[in-house]
Amino acid sequence: MLDSPVVPQQLNFEQVKQIIPQRFPFLMLDRVVNAEPGVRVVGIKNLTGNEWFYQGHFPKRAVTPGAMLCEAVAQAGIVFFHLSRPVRGDVTYLLGSIKMRFLEPAWPGDQLEIEVTPIKLTESAGILSGEVRVNGRAVAKGELTLSAKDNSKL
């Protein structure tokens, strides 16, 4: 279990950065609004027209790349995994597989609500279900397999 018995229900941007290793320009999580270890994590990412990926995707009409929605789910997954099965030591998080369906486009100005829930968890890996919503409507949903690999074994 956690070193500290108190798990915050919400995480601000700085607290998120203490958990996930991604940094600019690859941070796809602004804050966590609901963290329930072992149950779910719900995060928020506010998309602005300034995001780096809109420069090329696409120059004439900005659409959020599906790959970045996958990344947002993966980052919420890291937060979930970290809170549910705290990893000790120096690890790198790797995706094993991701199966995602994109239901509607996400545009600049949208607020992404990213929810992950567990399908199966072990000490070093997990299969998670993920959904990305905008205004309560699902824009992407799917499953991903995530593992925390000890850096000495990579």
Partner 1 sequence: MAQHTIDDEVAALIAEILEMDPVQLDRNANLVEDLGMDSMMALEILAALEKKFKIKIPEADLPKITTVNQTIELAKKYAR
- Tell me the closest approach of the beta carbon of residue 135 to partner 1, in angstroms: 31
Give the whole-angstrom CA distance, residue 127 versus residue 33.
Answer: 22
Q: Does 129 bind partner 1 (CB under 8 A)?
A: no
Closest by CA position to 147, among listed 95, 90, 84: 95
Residue 66 phi, psi dihedral angles, 5° rounding: -55, -35
Q: Does 125 bind partner 1 (CB under 8 A)?
A: yes
Site residues (CB under 8 A) for partner 1, limited to 84-113: 94, 96-97
Stretch that binds partner 1, among 8-16, 35-43, 70-78, 125-133 (CB under 8 A): 125-133
Q: How many residues bind partner 1 (CB under 8 A)?
A: 14
Phi-psi region of 95 (alpha: psi -120 to 50; beta: other; left: phi over 0): beta
* ω into 37 cis (within 30 of 0): no
- Tell me the closest approach of the beta carbon of residue 35 to partner 1, in angstroms: 23
Which of 3, 18, 88, 123 contacts partner 1 by CB under 8 A?
123
The number of beta carbons lying within 10 Å of the beta carbon of residue 16 is: 21
Which of 126, 130, 131, 134 contacts partner 1 by CB under 8 A?
126
- Tell me the closest approach of the beta carbon of residue 14 to partner 1, in angstroms: 30
